[in-house]
Amino acid sequence: MTRFALVVAALVAMATTPAYARDEVRVEARGGIAWAGGTSETFAGVGGGYDFDLGDKAFIGIDVGADKVLARGTDVTGSVGGRLGPKIGGKGRLYANGGIGFCCGGSDFYIGAGYQHNLGRKLYGKIEYRRALSTFGPDVNFAGVGLGIRF
C-alpha cells in the first residue's frame, strides 16, 4: 500500500509540474576546423541530444554526435557526453561539456565549452570548442558552429 501511495504522489507531482519546464530534444548539423600538431583541416558532422530544464536559470543535457575530418584517410568519430550550464537571458545557453569520443576501435575523453542561442521558436545556432584528450598522439582541437532544430 505504501508503494502505491508513493507512485500516486509521484504521478500527481509530475502532472502538476509547471508548464514553463522546457525539456527538449535537439538535432543539428555542424562544421568547423580541427587542428593538432601544427596541421588543420575542416570537419563536418551531425549531433543531437536532450536537455533537461533545471528551472529558469540552468539546464543539463546529454549529447551524441558523429563528426568527420574532411581529409583523405580519416574516419568518422562518434561521441557520447553531456553538457551543463546557465541559461542566459531568455534565448541563450552557455555550457561546459565533456564525454567520450570513439574512433578506429579506440576511445578518448573530450572536454569543451559552447554557447547556444535561439534564433526562433524551434531554430537555434551555436558555437562550440572541444578538445579531444588523446592517449595516442597530440590532443585534437575542434572549433565549430552549428545550426539545429528543437522539438
What digits encode the pLDDT tens for the residues 129-140? 999 999 888 999
Of the ranges 7-16, 39-48, 105-114, 132-141, which one carries the lowest mean pLDDT score?
7-16
User: In this model, does residue 1 exceed pLDDT 60?
Assistant: no
Output the pTM of the full model: 0.83
63-92 burial, b for 16+ CB within 10 Å, e for fewer?
Answer: bebebbbeeeeeeebebebebebebeeeeb
How confident is the model over 18-30, as a mean pLDDT?
Answer: 76
| Per-residue confidence (pLDDT) for residue 13, from 0 to 100 | 41
